[in-house]
Amino acid sequence: MKVKKAVITAAGPDQRALPLQTLIDRNGEEKSVLAILIEQALTGAVEEACVVVWPGDEERYAQAIGPQAGHVRFVPQDRALGYGYAVYAAREFIAGEPFLHLVGDHLYIGSDAESCAAELLDVAQAQACSVSAVQATRESLLPRYGTIGGRRVAGHDRLYRIETVVEKPTPTEAEQRLLVSGMRAGHYLCFFGMHVLTPAVVDILGNLHAAAPESSLKLSTALTELARREQFLALEAPGRRYDIGSRYGLLIAQMALALSGSDRAEVLARMLELLADREAGSER
Amino acid sequence: MSRLIEIITSSQPDIRNLSLDVVCRAASFRELIAECEELDRFRRHSDNLYERVRALFFLYAIHRFHIPLKSGSTGATVIPFSGYEALLKRRFEEALDIFLHAQASSGAGGALSSALAAGYRALGFQTLADQVRRSVRSVRGNQWMFRTGHPDDYPLRIRPELLDRGQSSLFPILHEATPVRMDLSHSGWSDIFFLGMDFPEGARVLNISIDLAVRGQGSGSPRPPVESYLRVIDEPVLRLTSVDLKCTADIRSIAEIFDFGRDYLGLLKAAAIASGLIPPGMEGASEPLSDVLRQLLGSPGRGIEIVSKVNDIPKGSRLAVSTNLLASLIAVCMRATGQIRTMEGGLDERDRRLVAARAILGEWIGGSGGGWQDSGGVWPGIKLIQGEIAAEGDPEFGISRGCLLPRHRVLPAEEVSQETREKLQNSLVLVHGGMAQDVGPILEMVTERYLLRSETEWRGRLQAIRILDEVLGQLRAGDVRLIGDCTMRNFEGPIQTIIPWAANHYTETLIRAARAEMGSEFWGFWMLGGMAGGGMGFLFDPHRKASAQGRLGEIMSETKRRLESAVPFAMEPVVYDFAINERGTHAEFRRGESALMPVDYYLVVAPPLLRTEMRLLPPTRRAELDRFSAACRRNPEFAGAVENLFDRLLPQSREDEGGAAQNLDALLDRHGFDRAGHEEIQANLRAGRLGLAQNRLPVNVTIRDVAPGDVVDARHPLNGSHKSIGADAIASGAVAVVSLAGGVGSRWTKGAGVVKALNPFARLGGRHRNFIEVHLAKSRRVSSEYGVDLPHIVTTSYLTHEATESYLRMEQNYGYPGPVYLSPGKSIGLRMIPMERDLRFAWEEMAHQILDDQAEKMRESVQAALIGWVKQMGEGGNYTDNLPMQCLHPVGHWYEIPNLLRNGLLARLLAERPRLKHLMVHNIDTAGVDVDPRILGLHIDSGAAMTTEVVERFLEDRGGGLARIDGRLRLVEGLALPGEEIESSLSYYNSNTMWIDISQLLAMFGLTRADLADASKVRSAVRSVASRMPTYITLKDVKKRWGKGQEDVFPVAQFEKLWGDMTALPELKCAYVAVSRLRGQQLKEPAQLDGWLRDGSAAYVESLCLW
């Protein structure tokens, strides 16, 4: 299964400005969040990315992409019918092929950022099925994420077979349905918006949309159905993901980038200075 | 291997179900001790819960019921105080080690066995309770709540619908209506947790969800009796309101939620915790509650309001109202936080099970407890609930045979037809008999008996299991008459075989009356829940149901009036209308105009709002009032609300209270209240000259145990001449019996104020008998044996006189042929608000039983509230805030003998019976005492003015004893001992049975027989001796009843003088005789009755009686 396409959703009503924010990446270069995401997406055999945007945002976004613009296409999301509908909006671009999917409000920062998407693509190719990146997440954060229940694939440390997907579960439900053996108490495997999906998911979304054309379309519902229909795996990613849409999310993501990049010493020194000044100030 | 260990570990049912009694009966004393040693070793090493617990109960039963009856015991030994102290502090293992060490060094005996029995029993129950808790915590879906300890970890979010107020300024309301449950048959209380966990095959219950209405109240048509409401509010507080208890509170700190005793909102708090709204792991967190609410509600400045309502169903209904209310509150909170997926309508099976598991958790947190069937109202219709064998993957697997939570199977209409359901509804009359009850001890007895497999009880259990199958069969066949037959047989057979205390005199009277009135149209009695007397069912031919409902109400009221001075009633009996609820718990989302709280809610919250200036009220509170006033105009359910609100707003008429005060004054005057004396005691109490600490003897007094020869041991054969001396004296008419019955026995009915002497406490000679009847039956036997008319005197007080007199008249002295005299009391006291100092002394300085963690927290919080109450009421003030009779107190049994002098009864007796020389005076609750010629002979032979019977001290015997104090042998009260450890070193306990030589006693008072006619001389003689007697201050619990069967218990201060202190007077010659426990033990608490019945004491009493 060769994946040549990537879909990035960025049309959420509260997150339209997020992909345009500027960060300094680990090489010290100034880039927009969208540019970083596209760089991450265009890895392995992926040649083309599609960004799902709110109608009218195309131009602003295009300016923020930078040198990769030639590989990017924009698709407007015509109706605010939820996250699932955003993915579904890219159906023509997907055109019955498997695709890498990233969300516009999360940044993944690992020891080697590009490797997570690459590893996901490798696993998808090797196993010939959908694979989602997941991270062990404390139960207090469950109200923010889609969470999986499943079991570890024999012989693979970080690979899980997904049995169920619940969007933003309560800890009560998580404990009953989403416990994965081998996890720390109170921790669950949650998505962070990086998936390789087969085109079956688009069919499922299409069916769901046809059944209730005015209702909000949830990707998690489609993923639960996907797990029922075909093999669906989860890969536990070793790095950290940052929800840049949350309070101070962008700032924290920037610090994480800086502290894992070439300017680490400089940034640390500045932060220490800041702290020391504050301490001294409070003593005075 | 030991025979008993084989029984415990065998997998074959015929060995496993062997009765302990069978094995122990045949064993010698030595063999039993050897078995105990092996069992103790076994239970320390076994890691199987069931084996450990069964071994503990075997050990308890051997020490409690078998060792004391075997010869070979070393006799009186002293129970080490350190062990007693460890027991009180719930360090059971440590206590057992201390007692076993003492047994190894000084030999086994009754006293040490009583201590070991208490230790093993308590450890057994603690092991069980710990396991239930562990299982509740480990239920999936509950575990996270114990990990969440900080607001930052808080994982729940409110459903967005509840935050959407639309056009309104108030948030929408989520409303949950829940039926209660009644059980058709519980297979011998098989819904206790341990039975389900150990014998899941036998743990089965037929349980029906019902709607109720109290007949003659409200709209009359049955509806779900339990309702809960939840909404978001614009203040960062958790606002809890109980509409029925008329109580509301704004909670701002996490600590307050875990403080259950400070108000009446404990159940709502437990629900908030068990639902995860404020997870149990947060107990002790110091962060403000608003931090948690901000996480939950997504923005600061908002809070949650929860309201509970029980539609007029009184407490003690045996319909599991409180568990279903808890479940209802938990369900509404779990819906609101998305833990239950459906916000409206019924629940699916998974969610019902989750709510049931959380309700068990809530009961544990709130310190209450019930059976696993109690949350049955969450499910719809009729269901069979049964234990489930633990399988791999269950948290119980490998620990117990069954799971904590049973399996519910709702019986479909194909199985039990609609017609049958209607027939059942048309035949059954549900009532609340009005009795106040505590089912807790019954459930412990059931556990104990199940583990011991006593022969008859085990047969009873198997029979109860068969009856459930019969009931199920009749439900399928649609024959309600035969269901009545089954439930009647169940009540008369297995239920009372397993627990005789499930029935009582009141219930039996009602059943007899129903049968007499309705004949064959009365189809059967149906005991609801744990015991009879409160909630009960009577099945009638459907065409008689309406008249039966009316008549049963009248019969209950009449019977209650007749029995109320003998049996504790909490309320007036009621008859219900009911209907089977076929949908279980059900929720509705109310928004806009329809988002109203129940009418009574506004009557609780509106008055303080109306008293506040409008401009000072927050806008949402103003909107609340607007909505209420609009509803009053337009909503028919709110008709009459304005008038009720008006009544609440205006100051209440003081007429009632004035009437009560007058009544109290009149009572005080009538009973010779000594105002000057009272004021002096009050002044001394306030000044600290009297008080609990001042009751005690000075520390420099030397207190030693008795020396050899101090006590004559009458437990062994005595010199033959004593018996003949005594027999001659009885035959010559030299003896009279005095039963002390002036008290109400506050421990017997926990301050309910009924006459203990008249309480039909046990079934003896074929029916329930009260204490007076039992004492008269013994006197009848002695009279007939010696051919005399033994005079029997019953002393009374203001509390007991009228009731005792009318009972004796009504029952014609229970057929006693000899003379029966009443000796009315001449003294009365007025209770006082205790001093904070004395409360603290009682709670902090005196040894008391530490409860389990949760109950202990509850107690601490109640104590804090009581200190507040004392300060508010005024320390040392008169206690008048209750029914007049509950404000008075008898002033101690010292006065009862002098009363015989003062009220002229002794003079009359001596005139009528010049040969009368001796009085046998005993407590009303010393059931095994009789006029024994051997002891009378000893008394006469010793020439003593007073001979006191003492018993070997067992663990439960607290309250003083026989001691050498500064060298003088005398009785000492527990109150007077400078340290509590001293009591444990005293071998003998005072049974309070005394043989008194009348002439010597009169001489001590400075009187002659002739002086008895001179009232003023007698009065001054009594006063002069009284002044030499110490005055003790004691704290007594008194109940204040209110609402629908609700009760509050307050500690009040009173004073007493005690007869035992007469032995300190040097001029009174005293002797002491040790008697067996069968004769000397006193029944102080109903919890003792079961052991009393099983250890042969009851049979012994019966052997003394001639009915």
pLDDT digits over B56-112, tens only? 999 999 999 998 888 776 655 789 999 998 998 889 999 999 999 999 988 888 899
B149 reaches A (C-beta below 8 A): no
A174 Cα to chain B: minimum distance (Å):
8
Contact assignment for B152 to A140 by CB distance below 8 Å? yes
Distance between the two ends of chain B, CA-based, in angstroms? 48
A246 Cα to chain B: minimum distance (Å):
13
Strands (E) across B153-235 are located at 173-178, 180-185, 204-214, 226-233
* pLDDT tens digits for range B3-39: 899 999 888 888 888 888 888 988 999 999 999 999 9
Cβ atoms of B743 and B1106 closer than 8 Å: no
Residue in B136, B145, B147, B292 to test binding to A, most A beta-carbons within 10 Å: B147
Residue in A139, A145, A147, A172 to test binding to B, most B beta-carbons within 10 Å: A172
How far, in Å, are B48, B210, B401, B403, B964 from residue B397 at the CA level?
11, 34, 7, 8, 58
Contacting residues for A246 by C-beta, under 8 A, at least 6 apart: A144
Contact assignment for A143 to B153 by CB distance below 8 Å? no
What pLDDT does residue B970 have? 96
Report the domain count for chain B.
Answer: 3
CA A66/CA A22 separation, integer angstroms: 12
Contacts of B334 in chain A (CB under 8 A): 172
State whether B71 and B134 are in the same domain: yes
CA B975/CA B1053 separation, integer angstroms: 14
State the CATH number of the domain containing residue B1074: 3.90.550.10
Confidence of residue B849 (pLDDT cuts 50, 70, 90): confident
* pLDDT tens digits for range B1002-1016: 999 999 999 999 999
* pLDDT tens digits for range B148-165: 999 999 999 999 999 999
Amino acid at A98: P
Contacting residues for A220 by C-beta, under 8 A, at least 6 apart: A84, A146, A165, A166, A167
CA B384/CA B864 separation, integer angstroms: 44
CA B385/CA B1012 separation, integer angstroms: 70
Cβ atoms of B273 and B362 closer than 8 Å: yes
Query: Whole domain around residue A103: which residue ranges?
Result: 5-283
Main-chain dihedrals φ then ψ at residue B149, nearest 5 degrees: -115, -5
* Domain membership flag for residue B593: no
SS3 B1102: helix
* Domain membership flag for residue B215: no
* pLDDT tens digits for range B637-650: 888 888 888 887 77
Radius of gyration of chain B (CA): 31
Task: Tell me how far the alpha carbon of residue B656 is from its chain's centroid.
Answer: 31
A106 Cα to chain B: minimum distance (Å):
21
What pLDDT does residue B1086 have? 85
CB pairs under 8 A between A and B: 53
Main-chain dihedrals φ then ψ at residue B1098, nearest 5 degrees: -65, -40
* Nearest residue of chain B to residue A141 (CA atoms): B155
Contacts of A181 in chain B (CB under 8 A): none
* pLDDT tens digits for range B1017-1040: 998 999 899 989 999 999 988 888
For every residue of chain A, DSSP letters joined together read: ----EEEEE---TT-SSGGG-EEE-TTS-EEEHHHHHHHHHS-TT--EEEEEE-TT-HHHHHHHHGGGGGGEEEEE--S---HHHHHHHTHHHHTTS-EEEEETTEEEE-SSHHHHHHHHHHHHHHHTSEEEEEEEEEGGGGGGSEEEEEEEPTT-SSEEEEEEEEES--HHHHHHH---TTSPTTEEEEEEEEEEE-THHHHHHHHHHHHSTTS---HHHHHHHHHHHS-EEEEE-SSEEEETTSTTHHHHHHHHHHHTSTTHHHHHHHHHHHHHHHHHHHH-
Pairing assessment for the beta strands B820-823 and B792-795 based on DSSP bridges: parallel
Q: Is the pLDDT of residue B783 over 60?
A: yes
Q: Determine which helix (DSSP H) or strand (DSSP E) holds B345, and give its type and residue range.
A: none
Q: Is the pLDDT of residue B319 over 80?
A: yes
SS3 B882: coil
ipTM of the complex: 0.78
State whether B779 and B825 are in the same domain: yes
Amino acid at B42: F
Main-chain dihedrals φ then ψ at residue A241, nearest 5 degrees: -115, 150
Q: Is the pLDDT of residue B438 over 80?
A: no
Cβ atoms of B338 and B163 closer than 8 Å: no
State whether B58 and B117 are in the same domain: yes
What pLDDT does residue B1044 have? 67
* Domain membership flag for residue B357: no
B140 reaches A (C-beta below 8 A): yes
**Domain termination residue (choose one: B138, B165, B186):** B138
H runs (alpha helix) in B824-895: 836-840, 853-873, 884-887
* Domain membership flag for residue B1043: yes
State whether B971 and B1004 are in the same domain: yes
| Residues paired with residue A191 on neighbouring β-strands, in sequence order | A134
What pLDDT does residue B891 have? 86
Contact assignment for A176 to B148 by CB distance below 8 Å? no
State whether B644 and B677 are in the same domain: no
Query: Whole domain around residue B728: which residue ranges?
Result: 673-832+875-1104
Contacts of A144 in chain B (CB under 8 A): none
A242 Cα to chain B: minimum distance (Å):
18
Cβ atoms of A180 and A188 closer than 8 Å: yes
* Nearest residue of chain A to residue B146 (CA atoms): A186
Percent of chain B with pLDDT over 70: 97
Contact assignment for B276 to A175 by CB distance below 8 Å? no
State whether B678 and B719 are in the same domain: yes
Per-residue tokens: B641: 């609300």
Q: State the sign of the Cα–Cα–Cα–Cα dihedral B489, B491, B497, B500.
A: negative
CA A134/CA A132 separation, integer angstroms: 6
H runs (alpha helix) in B139-187: 143-147
- At how many degrees (to 10) do helices B505-518 and B545-563 cross? 140
Main-chain dihedrals φ then ψ at residue B247, nearest 5 degrees: -135, 135
A141 reaches B (C-beta below 8 A): yes
In this complex, which of A138, A173, A186 lies closest to B339 when CB atoms are compared?
A173
State whether B1004 and B881 are in the same domain: yes
* Nearest residue of chain A to residue B142 (CA atoms): A172
What pLDDT does residue B297 have? 96
Contact assignment for A171 to B337 by CB distance below 8 Å? no
B334 reaches A (C-beta below 8 A): yes
**Mean pLDDT value across residues A115-132:** 91
- The H helix count followed by the E strand count for chain B is 42, 31
Amino acid at B928: G
Q: What is the dihedral of CA B909, B911, B916, B920, to 10 degrees?
A: 20
* pLDDT tens digits for range B170-192: 999 999 999 999 988 888 899 88
B300 reaches A (C-beta below 8 A): no
B357 Cα to chain A: minimum distance (Å):
12
CA B212/CA B578 separation, integer angstroms: 4
Q: Which of B479-483, B493-497, B796-800 has the lowest mean pLDDT?
A: B796-800
State whether B633 and B709 are in the same domain: no
State whether B41 and B85 are in the same domain: yes
B675-682 long-range contacts, Cβ below 8 Å, gap at least 24?
Answer: B678/B829, B678/B830, B681/B1031, B681/B1055, B682/B832, B682/B876, B682/B878
**Mean pLDDT value across residues A25-29:** 87
Q: Is the pLDDT of residue B653 over 60?
A: no
State whether B644 and B687 are in the same domain: no
Q: What is the dihedral of CA B624, B627, B633, B634, to 10 degrees?
A: -140
What pLDDT does residue B591 have? 92
In this complex, which of A143, A168, A186 lies closest to B144 when CB atoms are compared?
A186
What pLDDT does residue B848 have? 73
* pLDDT tens digits for range B405-426: 899 999 999 999 999 999 999 9
For every residue of A71-97, DSSP letters joined together read: GEEEEE--S---HHHHHHHTHHHHTTS
B157 reaches A (C-beta below 8 A): yes
* pLDDT tens digits for range A200-226: 999 999 999 999 999 999 999 999 999
Q: Is the pLDDT of residue B830 over 70?
A: yes
Report the domain count for chain A.
Answer: 1
Contact assignment for B350 to A141 by CB distance below 8 Å? no
B585 Cα to chain A: minimum distance (Å):
20
A221 reaches B (C-beta below 8 A): no
* Domain membership flag for residue B741: yes
CA B347/CA B412 separation, integer angstroms: 17
Q: Which of B505-519, B668-682, B1062-1076 has the lowest mean pLDDT?
A: B668-682
Contact assignment for B147 to A185 by CB distance below 8 Å? yes
A139 reaches B (C-beta below 8 A): yes
In this complex, which of A138, A143, A176 lies closest to B157 when CB atoms are compared?
A143
A178 Cα to chain B: minimum distance (Å):
11
Distance between the two ends of chain A, CA-based, in angstroms? 65
* pLDDT tens digits for range B964-993: 999 999 999 988 998 888 888 899 999 999
Contacts of B156 in chain A (CB under 8 A): 143, 170-171
Residue in A151, A170, A177, A181 to test binding to B, most B beta-carbons within 10 Å: A170
What pLDDT does residue A226 have? 94
Contacts of B148 in chain A (CB under 8 A): 139-140, 171
Contact assignment for B144 to A138 by CB distance below 8 Å? no
In this complex, which of B140, B152, B156 lies closest to A170 when CB atoms are compared?
B156
CB contact residues (below 8 A), chain A span 169-198, against chain B: 170-176, 179, 185-186
* Domain membership flag for residue B229: no
What pLDDT does residue B1040 have? 82
Q: Which of B215-229, B586-600, B941-955, B1087-1101 has the lowest mean pLDDT?
A: B215-229
> Which among B662, B1050, B679 is positioned nearest to B829, based on CA atoms?
B679
CA B778/CA B350 separation, integer angstroms: 61
Confidence of residue A283 (pLDDT cuts 50, 70, 90): low
B155 reaches A (C-beta below 8 A): yes
State whether B899 and B1031 are in the same domain: yes
